[in-house]
Amino acid sequence: MGETDSWEKNLQETVLRESILNWYEFHRDADLLEICSGPSVLTELFRRRVRSVTTVVLQEKEPEASGDPDRLHRLEEAEDRRYDYIVCLEQAEREPDPVSFVGRLKRLLRPGGILLLGADNRYGLKYFCGCGEKYSGIPYLGINGYPGEFPGSAGKGRLWSRSEWQAILQKAGFEKSRFFYPVPDSRMPQMIYTDEYTDATNAAERLVDYDYEDPGMAVIEHRIFRDVIASGSLSFMANSFLMEITADGSLSDIDYVVVTTDRGPERGMATTIRNNGQVMKRPLWEQGEAHLRALAGYTEELASSGVPVIPVELQEDPAGIFLRMPCVPYESLSPVLTRLAGSDRARFEKIFDRIYECIRLSFRPSGPESGRVYLDLAPCNCFLVPGSGEEEESLLFYDQEFVTENGTPGFAMFRTLKYFFASSPQAARSVSLSDMYLRYGITPEQQKDYETQEEAFIRSVRHSDRFRWVFSAAVPDYRQLYERACRMKAEKRKPYRIGYVPGVFDLFHTGHLRLIERCKDRCDHLIVGVLTDELVEFYKGKPPVVSCEDRMNVIRGLKACDEVIPVDFSNTDKLDAWEQLHYDCHFSGDDHVGHWNDVWQELKKRGSNMEFFSYTKGISSTAIKEKAGLNRQQE
């Protein structure tokens, strides 16, 4: 099994996939229908959250391959009931008629029921960065609007934009919908955004992305997410959608979510910002209740030490225990410091001095050199409160989850500086991280010791050994991305997107190879048509020497060939072939120049073209047969 196959297998089986819905507040006494195309790690999540779960596995194969004319026939198993929730991720985009499919799901909902529909976006940011389209693997295919319904993805699925999904839902009869935007995408989201929330601080500081092994990727996606979100463009460029849909029910009041599923049952949390101005923090598993209570205690201890911190209130509702805190109207500290690094060095350093003062205030020594130290007193967990009148601006910390009982203020400050500068390359261009370490007495020798401590802490908190396959893919190979971009610059843009060249290709020889290579030089995707044995005998009065299947296998092995199809009586006519393939250019030998002028004119009306190449002199299948005596044998 290759690395890519292993990654995909881990992706399908990892508990991190729960992040798409483990934050959603399902009613405990609900009946839920899950629709998927194979074993789902989400099934266990739903069983923890609702009264009953019915799972329907749809036909995975294409109908033509399976012999089943309707991949939805298993949905009939669920149609004798009605459900409070229907969860259907990445299935509607595989349907040729999504309106009919979504309408069918609507009929399975109880009054007030909710449909949670997941789909990828053809205008997703990763696709603009060069990632191959989901079903064909061809870069920019969805962005280009699937011109001519490119055959590479036919029968597998296609992606739709947000406005297209809105139209689909309306046609299916749904009155109300809300779009959530999982970041980086729906496979393993760490954040869930909505149109109502555009603070991109977390996307810049916490995002773990993982698509950089895609051979088409030439842009560092996570560096763009912040600007996309802050500019309000995420509704257009989100990689994935999670749609909350109802005909007559109530929609969620959640505007934003941060999930930390990778921290495991004891520490995994969902932090939600609501449209009523409140922030709620819930454990993702029951085992996390103890950590939530500890967090409430840490907040009280920090406040008693003189550290400015947002107060929290421990509460409980039918969904379980949670922390409630107000959503304050202040700017996050990280972007402020990023701006100050290049414009006001003195103020920049003064704010970090205040952070260090808070770290020292919160320190609880338990030995001569170490003790309890808070590790989240950092810009990413802090707001800057503007001063009023003669009052100076001040800091306000929140979400202080983590402490170590054997640390030092120096270690906490090391972490604070390390992660701020890692998430803000703009600041690093103006201020030296080494200088900032020395400002707080952190020597190079201490930095090495602290780095070792930090690696051990991260392994314990984020289960980095267990999820190494994710984190390793999250580090871009910058040299490789740069080389991909250089190749794109160097490559000559080809005049055609899809090219088509049909032929017999019997007794494959150098002339055939040169023809196919010349065709490939003129198009991005070359389809080679191979005439069937019956068609060859019909035109030439005798069968080919090599069978159609073997001739197709030879062509299929050529680097210059992207796709091979059989040519029979249904598509031997060039216009019939165009109706099936929507090619941009039909290639042929120059012995047909002038014979196909009428067809050529018809193709031009369809936006297609014809080009003719000269044959390689001195070689042909006929000459080879004559030399070998094969023509005489057939006669």
Cβ-proximal residues to 163 (8 Å cutoff; 6+ apart), any chain: none
Beta strands 83-89 and 31-36: pairing type? parallel
**Is there a contact between 543 and 537 (Cβ–Cβ < 8 Å)?**
yes
Half-sphere exposure of 165 (CA within 13 A, CB side): 28
**Is there a contact between 60 and 39 (Cβ–Cβ < 8 Å)?**
no
3-state secondary structure of 309: strand
**Token representation of residue 75:** 């949905």
C-alpha closest to that of 420 among 459, 386, 380 = 380
In sequence order, what DSSP letters do the residues of 282-299 get, joined into one string? Answer: EESSGGGHHHHHHHHHHH
Q: Rounded to whole angstroms, what are the CA distances from 519 to 233, 557, 584?
A: 40, 16, 12
Residue 317: exposure state from Cβ atoms within 10 A (0-12, 13-18, ≥19): exposed
Q: Is 448 noted as a catalytic residue in this protein?
A: no
Catalytic, out of 156, 171, 542, 604: 542
Residue type, 190: Q
Q: Is 625 noted as a catalytic residue in this protein?
A: no
In the chain, count of helices (H) and strands (E)? Answer: 26, 23
Q: Describe the crossing of helices 409-423 and 345-362 by its angle, rounded to 10 degrees.
A: 140
**Token representation of residue 560:** 């210059």
3-state secondary structure of 622: helix
The residue assigned the tokens 């500081």 is: 205
Determine phi and psi for 72, rounding to 5 degrees: -95, 10
Q: Rounded to whole angstroms, what are the CA distances from 330 to 21, 281, 336, 393?
A: 29, 19, 11, 11
In sequence order, what DSSP letters do the residues of 360-403 get, joined into one string? Answer: HHH-EE-SSS-EEEES--SGGGEEEEPP-TTPPPEEEE-----E
**Token representation of residue 630:** 């094969």
**Token representation of residue 72:** 């939805």
DSSP state of 208: -
Q: Rounded to whole angstroms, what are the CA distances from 103 to 166, 173, 240, 269, 429?
A: 13, 7, 21, 35, 54
Start-to-end C-alpha separation, the chain:
50
Beta strands 523-531 and 563-567: pairing type? parallel
Catalytic, out of 489, 540, 559, 627: 540
- Long-range CB contacts (< 8 A, 24+ apart) of 438-441? 439/349, 439/352, 440/356, 440/410, 440/413, 441/410
C-alpha closest to that of 413 among 367, 458, 362, 462 = 362
C-alpha closest to that of 19 among 133, 165, 130, 184 = 184
Instruction: Provide the annotated active-site residues.
Output: 540, 542
